């Protein structure tokens, strides 16, 4: 696609048009990448303005997971010592959350590491979520796997949480190549049920697992059907000891083009830099000019440093963003 073609599609999107798969593929193959990125940023500015959200993630690790997700250091196939992930020290965490909240981090995502939760685990999650709500002013999102309708209803009725996150991870076809013990259908059902119950829904996944650009486009289109308010794009960190440990890293252009295409397909969503930010520091400014308007900060909460979050905040503001209040 040439400059004029990209501009025409961008202008149509600004007027409410939803691009087709074929158009997205053609955009991803353009040699006019600077025009593509600039146009993605214009789409972001038009629909989302300059507000930027910073989010921290905290893991509640119940046990090593029984699923075989090839990317995950806590899966049944992994040889990684998953105790590297943070274990709960409630007093320390509350202190840290209140500190980062003052720095502009207004969102905390509470994640569990299981496909779904039994009732005992759900009781624990509800207890933890309520403790965070009582002891902090931060807005909380729950990410507890593929919960049933009744379990989501309990979460809605028994906590103050009004955001639910469930990652689709990748395209429907490619998902089957990297996970055989879980399925996307249950994730989609969870998100639809959460939406019915009045939750704001978030989703997203991982890029760089060996999928093609067409897979990423199918992934973005699947997300568009669900209309999540936030889409988190994590970049694969190939942990030694996981099946994907030798997966080659994505090149910079593929990463930036993926961000831009997601913005063309999901113009109104917050598109968030997720885990794996440390792998793209060299192109982070370019990413912030290619449709991104949110980011995880403090990649592992247990290692989050206030000065690092302050540096992140300054970087986002230097790019013209206004940190959400």
For residue 299, what pLDDT is reported? 59
- At residue 218's C-alpha, the angle toward residues 249 and 23, to 5°, is 105
Condensed to tens digits (0 to 9), the pLDDT of residues 256-302 reads 999 999 999 999 999 999 988 888 989 999 999 999 999 998 755 54
Q: Which of 71, 63, 148 is CA-nearest to residue 112?
A: 63
The domain spans of the chain are 3-9+21-323
d(CA 192, CA 149): 9
d(CA 306, CA 165): 25
Confidence class for position 303, pLDDT limits 50, 70, 90: low
Share of the chain above pLDDT 70, in %: 94
- Name the helix (H) or strand (E) containing 280: none
Q: What does DSSP say about strands 51-60 and 322-323: parallel, antiparallel, or unpaired?
A: parallel
**Neighbouring-strand partners of residue 17:** none
d(CA 269, CA 182): 26
Q: Does 307 have pLDDT greater than 90?
A: no
What Rg do the C-alpha atoms of the chain give, in angstroms? 19
Task: Report the Cα 276 to chain-centroid distance in Å.
Answer: 11
For residue 87, what pLDDT is reported? 58
d(CA 283, CA 285): 6
Task: Identify the weakest region by mean pLDDT among 104-108, 171-175, 262-266.
Answer: 104-108
Q: What does DSSP say about strands 107-112 and 322-323: parallel, antiparallel, or unpaired?
A: unpaired
How far is residue 109 from each of residues 189, 239, 249, 295, measured CA to CA in Å? 20, 22, 26, 12
Instruction: Give the mean pLDDT of 220-245.
Output: 95
Q: Which of 187, 217, 215, 57 is CA-nearest to residue 116?
A: 187
First to last CA, the chain: 39
Q: Under a CB-based contact definition with an 8 Å cutoff, are residues 289 and 273 in contact?
A: no
Instruction: Give the mean pLDDT of 62-77.
Output: 80
d(CA 198, CA 17): 27
Confidence class for position 108, pLDDT limits 50, 70, 90: very high
d(CA 40, CA 44): 6
For residue 85, what pLDDT is reported? 52
Enumerate helices (H) and strands (E) in the chain, giving the number of each.
12, 9
For residue 49, what pLDDT is reported? 97
Report the residue count for the chain. Answer: 325
Q: Which of 87, 86, 90, 89 is CA-nearest to residue 135?
A: 90
d(CA 93, CA 126): 17
Q: Does 115 have pLDDT greater than 90?
A: no
d(CA 108, CA 112): 13
Task: Identify the weakest region by mean pLDDT among 28-37, 107-116, 187-196, 244-253.
Answer: 107-116
CATH of domain 3-9+21-323: 3.20.20.70
């Amino acid at each position: 696609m040439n400059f004029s073609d990209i501009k025409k599609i961008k202008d149509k999107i600004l007027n409410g048009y939803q691009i087709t798969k074929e158009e997205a593929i053609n955009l991803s193959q353009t040699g006019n990448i600077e025009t593509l990125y600039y146009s993605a940023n214009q789409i972001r500015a038009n629909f989302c303005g300059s507000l930027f959200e910073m989010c921290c993630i905290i893991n509640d690790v119940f046990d090593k997971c029984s699923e075989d997700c090839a990317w995950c250091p806590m899966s049944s196939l992994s040889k990684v010592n998953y105790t590297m992930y943070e274990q709960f020290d409630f007093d320390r965490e509350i202190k840290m959350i209140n500190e980062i909240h003052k720095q502009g981090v207004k969102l905390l995502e509470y994640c569990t590491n299981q496909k779904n939760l039994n009732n005992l685990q759900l009781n624990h999650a509800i207890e933890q979520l309520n403790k965070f709500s009582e002891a902090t002013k931060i807005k909380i999102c729950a990410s507890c796997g593929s919960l049933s309708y009744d379990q989501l209803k309990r979460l809605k009725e028994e906590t103050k949480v009004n955001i639910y996150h469930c990652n689709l991870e990748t395209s429907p076809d490619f998902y089957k190549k990297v996970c055989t013990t879980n399925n996307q259908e249950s994730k989609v059902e969870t998100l639809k049920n959460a939406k019915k119950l009045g939750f704001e829904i978030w989703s997203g996944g991982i890029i760089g697992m060996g999928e093609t650009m067409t897979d990423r486009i199918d992934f973005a289109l699947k997300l568009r059907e669900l209309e999540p308010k936030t889409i988190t794009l994590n970049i694969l960190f190939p942990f030694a000891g996981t099946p994907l440990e030798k997966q080659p890293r994505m090149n910079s252009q593929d990463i930036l083009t993926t961000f831009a295409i997601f913005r063309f397909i999901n113009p109104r969503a917050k598109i968030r830099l997720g885990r794996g930010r440390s792998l793209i520091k060299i192109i982070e400014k370019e990413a912030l000019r290619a449709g991104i308007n949110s980011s995880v900060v403090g990649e592992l909460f247990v290692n989050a440093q206030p000065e690092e979050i302050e540096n992140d905040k300054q970087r986002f503001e230097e790019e013209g963003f206004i940190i959400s209040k």
